[in-house]
Structure 1
Amino acid sequence: MKDEDERRPITDEEQLDRIARLPKVELHLHFEGGAPPAFIRGLAKQKKVDIARIFNEDGSYAYRDFWHFLEVYEAATSVLKTPEDFARLCTAVLEESAKNGVVYSETFLSPDFCGGGDLGAWREYLQAIREAAEAAERDMGVTLRGVVTCIRHFGPEKAKRAALCAAETAGDWLVGFGMAGDEKQGKQRDFAYSFDMAREAGLRLTSHAGEWNGPQEVREAVEDLRVERIGHGVRAAPDLAVVDMLAERGITLEVCPGSNVFLGVYPALRAHPIDMLRKRGVKVTVSTDDPPFFHTSMRQEYLGLARAFGWDEEIFAEINRTALDAAFCDAATKEAVLKKLEQA
């Protein structure tokens, strides 16, 4: 392997093409956030719901900043009303994943959006999504697993309902529990009850932290919720004590570089700390977050990192193995996915 200090941005088009075509493992994908805008517009038209305000003239999603994005996200989600809608969404999302060479993906699902937190309704939605995912695995070769997320800005009480839904449906397909939403509201520890419930049900744990708030937010997610993965986590970078804590404890970061740059967390990819974190010994992975909202894809993420930091096929193989090791699925699934990675 090259000395890290010798790496230069990759510009060779043949090598970039090889990198783009690599099989990929993605751990941080919001289910509704993966909805192609054309899919949402079509569904809104069918249901005669006017959400034209959330689209630009070119048909893409329109928003001003992260907090407006949350409003637009929820407006887009509002047209997803039935289990069948979510099954169709699953197929649309996995078609995009397959086009980008993703062979394994974990997606965040919220019972708040799938039945309003009612357990009986959640079971129906989950079954529809799972059936669509299994069909996509047969037809497209991409394996999907679910991670329930509570929504931070909905508050701790609603989080308990989400955790109950997760605990009651935990198994070989629903494999994890986490938290998403507005990081500026509340504290990680406010949701400890929900995370404890999920842990007792055998679910693996992750939480969004360190996307907007600083290093202390990341430390609190690890110490107060005892998660093994962090969604984003990049704002830990200014505090090397927190960075080293992540490395020492083997916490995996679900990093979404394109999302961070698009939302202005960092001014450009070259300014993003993912390369520094990796060199410091932190387990980093690469994901898209909400790809159509942030005008990205897994292929684009890989190409951007190759051009910015000189990441080559060796490093991406390392990144994918790290992601697979950190995946919440069972050993048999990991073995099957590993064969696909090794064949490349």
Structure 2
Amino acid sequence: MNYSLLPKIELHLHLDCSLSYAVVSQLDQTITEKQYQQDFVAPAVCADLRDYLTRAVKGFSLMQTPAQLRLVTLDLLAQLDADHVIYAEIRFAPLLHTLQGLTPAQVVESVQAALQEGSLTYKVIPRLILCTLRHFTEEQSLETALLTKQFVGQGWVVGFDMAGDEAGYTVAAHKKAFSLIKESGIPFTVHAGEAAGPASMWEVIRELQPRRIGHGVRSIEDPALVAYLAEHRIHLEVCPTSNLQTNIFSSMKHHSLAALYQQGVSISLSTDARMITPVTLSSEYQQVVTAFSWGMSELLVCNLQALQYAFVDDKLRAGLQQRLLAAY
């Protein structure tokens, strides 16, 4: 089965962790493909999430000017188009791209301009989620929330996220930012249940009340948590191969996604980081189908659930749903 021909929804995708070698070599001609594989791409198994994230720094350094941000954004749109992703929520932390003098607002404007340009060439419908990071100060997190509020409603930015090292940092420094986001009626998602296990899930559920959680795959370690997620319809953005690389599961057959699905938890499939995790969504589908003997019906459900929780208006959701139902 050629899964690249199927239309797909992708909710969990980091812009600054998805640079292809083609664009990296454009941005820095001294980087060989061997160096790219060593420095930008994570091995099949890292020590942990923190080890995995060390590769992201390489991408950040090449995304500091409007021209660089344009190339990286267009590169990702080309990747998504080739993968037949019809709708993607692309996330990044604007504060990481100010090392050469851009303001965070100028960073967002540069990416938005590239999305506008790319929409003339590529069929994928992209939207942006702006990220705070676990290690950010309260001030930095609040600045990111205010930035999100500034740009929501302009057509591209649709939500807010907290990413980063969940094992090393609690949500304490980010409560004010999330209060602002919630008071403003802005959709949001939160990374949890990846490096820190069920405790981090309960923390974000208690403190932030998200409808969507990035990863969440270690919820399987707590039956009460799995039941809570199913009952309260909290959606998990699952990134299968990434979870193997961060040493959560030993193989795809041991991944929790099928058990979560069977127990009624709403899940979708995403790539996470197409550079650090060298996959496509089509290859993720193949891996999951092979590991769990899934068919088209399970893949369709995951896409419909992704669409249900996507940060889109009802008109766009209905149009995308028609395309999915016609293809599966």
TM over 0.5: yes
Match of 1:29 in 2: 13
Once the two structures are superposed, residues 280-308 of structure 1 have per-residue CA deviations (whole angstroms, 9 ceiling, x without a partner) of: 11000000001221121101110011111
Deviation for aligned residue 1:266: 0.4
The aligned counterpart of 1:322 is: 305
Structure 1 segment 186-205 matched on structure 2, within 5 A: 186-205=169-188
The one-character-per-residue Cα deviations of 1:38-93 (angstroms, maximum 9, x if unpaired) are: 32233123xx8x89996346x86356543233233123211211122112111100
- After superposition, the CA RMSD in angstroms is 2.3
Name the CA distance, whole Å, in 1 between partners of 2:244 and 2:284. Answer: 11
Contact 2:8 2:87 in 1 (8 A): yes
Query: Secondary structure of 2:294's partner?
Result: coil
Within the alignment, does 1:55 sit opposite 2:36 as a pair?
yes
2:123 aligned residue: 141
Identity, in percent, stands at 29
After TM superposition, the structure 1 = structure 2 runs for residues 1-344 of structure 1, keeping only pairs within 5 Å, are 16-17=1-2, 19-45=3-29, 55-56=36-37, 61=41, 65=47, 66-115=49-98, 121-171=103-153, 172-344=155-327
TM superposition shift of 1:184? 1.5
Asked if the contact 1:51/1:75 (under 8 Å) is kept, the reply is: no
CA distance in 1, matches of 2:75, 2:37: 21
5+ unaligned residues in a row in structure 2: which ranges?
none
Whole-Å Cα distance in 1 between the matches of residues 266 and 97 of structure 2? 32
- What is the CA-CA distance between 1:211 and the residue it aligns to? 0.6
Q: In structure 2, give the amino acid aligned to 1:141.
A: K
| 1:167-214 per-position Cα deviation (integer Å, ceiling 9, x unaligned) | 221124211111111112221243111111122222111110011111
Stretch of structure 1 that moved more, 319-328 or 62-71: 62-71
> What corresponds to 1:5 in structure 2?
none
Query: 1:160·1:194 contact (CA, 8 Å) conserved in 2?
Result: yes
Q: Is the 8 A contact 1:111 1:148 kept in 2?
A: yes
CA distance in 2, matches of 1:162, 1:251: 24
Cα-to-partner distance string for 1:128-156 (whole Å, 9 max, x where unaligned): 32232233333221001111110112333
Deviation at 1:123, TM superposition (A): 2.8
Structure 1, unpaired ranges of 5+? 1-15
What CA distance in whole angstroms lies between the structure 2 residues aligned with 1:212 and 1:70? 12
**So what's the TM-score if we normalise by structure 2?**
0.91
Q: How many residues align?
A: 323
Secondary structure in 1 aligned to 2:108?
A: helix
CA distance in 2, matches of 1:253, 1:54: 34
